[in-house]
């Protein structure tokens, strides 16, 4: 069965096609859920609920649009993860202490963080999961999903200044968790941030 045939069968409601898509994309979408959750159990719940929503929304997937199934499903999974967090976690967004954000750090992608810090993805994921719920959500949307502060503010119903200050605070927490990395064969330290 070709990928196009698989998608057509999925849209028409084939459970076999849905299972194949689940098998193909569940691990990648689990990564999305892990970034938004506090722990693995919550991520599994998010993934399960997300796939139920994907199946229910299958008729909205336009095969001819040029969007990949993964892009479409990921958007549903992100929305589901945010809704799960809103329902099950207590978000605290505050812009009482607006902080100045380093303009150079504004354009930092996750690849930039990983290469500069020389840490494993698993360690970075654990550190992100340990962030307070609001910080973690904004960090994920900004760094991993490449949303702007305006998009995040509209998504979460907060001000852009709140989004900026929460991102700044999340970064500061992560910076404190990361110890300077020793350079091999020298006594020098690599500056982390």
Residue 52 pLDDT greater than 50, yes or no? yes
Dist. CA 133–CA 42, nearest whole Å: 13
Could you tell me if 128 and 66 lie in one domain? no
| 97, part of any domain | no
Question: What is the band of 81 on the pLDDT scale with cuts at 50, 70, 90?
Answer: very high
The helix (run of H) or strand (run of E) holding residue 190 is strand 189-190
The helix (run of H) or strand (run of E) holding residue 182 is strand 181-182
How deeply is 149 buried, as exposed, middle or buried, from its count of CB atoms within 10 A (0-12, 13-18, 19+)? buried
Question: What is the band of 149 on the pLDDT scale with cuts at 50, 70, 90?
Answer: very high
Residue 14 pLDDT greater than 90, yes or no? yes
Find the range with the poorest average confidence among 7-11, 47-51, 64-68, 132-136: 64-68
Q: State the pLDDT at residue 176.
A: 87
SS3 127: helix
Query: Average per-residue pLDDT in the chain?
Result: 82
Could you please report the per-residue DSSP string of 16-85?
HHHHHHHHHHHHHHHHHHHHHSSSHHHHHHHHHHHHHHHHHTGGG--GGGS--HHHHHHHHHHHHHHHHH
Mean pLDDT of 55-77: 92
Number of domains observed in the structure of the chain: 2
Q: State the pLDDT at residue 100.
A: 32
Higher per-residue pLDDT: 189 or 25: 25
Mean pLDDT of 67-73: 92
SS3 189: strand
Query: What CATH code is carried by the domain that includes residue 21?
Result: 1.10.1740.10
Rounded to two decimals, the pTM is 0.70
Dist. CA 69–CA 177, nearest whole Å: 36
Residue 167 pLDDT greater than 50, yes or no? yes
Question: What is the band of 155 on the pLDDT scale with cuts at 50, 70, 90?
Answer: confident
Could you tell me if 129 and 80 lie in one domain? no
Domain that holds residue 119: 105-190
How deeply is 143 buried, as exposed, middle or buried, from its count of CB atoms within 10 A (0-12, 13-18, 19+)? buried
| 21, part of any domain | yes
Q: List pLDDT tens digits, range 114-137.
A: 444 456 778 888 889 899 989 999
């Amino acid at each position: 069965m070709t990928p196009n045939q698989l998608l057509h069968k999925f849209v028409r409601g084939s459970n076999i096609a849905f299972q194949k898509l689940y098998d193909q994309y569940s691990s990648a979408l689990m990564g999305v859920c892990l970034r938004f959750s506090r722990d693995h159990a919550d991520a599994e719940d998010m993934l399960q609920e997300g796939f139920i929503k994907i199946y229910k929304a299958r008729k909205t997937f336009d095969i001819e649009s040029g969007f990949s199934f993964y892009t479409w499903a990921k958007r549903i999974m992100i929305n589901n993860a945010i809704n799960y967090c809103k329902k099950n976690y207590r978000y605290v967004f505050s812009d009482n202490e607006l902080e100045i954000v380093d303009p150079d750090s504004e354009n930092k992608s996750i690849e930039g963080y990983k290469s500069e810090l020389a840490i494993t993805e698993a360690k970075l994921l654990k550190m992100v999961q340990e962030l307070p719920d609001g910080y973690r959500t904004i960090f994920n949307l900004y760094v991993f999903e490449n949303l702007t502060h305006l998009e995040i503010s509209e998504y979460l119903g907060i001000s852009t200044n709140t989004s900026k200050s929460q991102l700044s605070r999340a970064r500061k927490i992560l910076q404190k968790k990361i110890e300077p990395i020793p350079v091999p064969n020298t006594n020098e330290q690599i500056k982390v941030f």
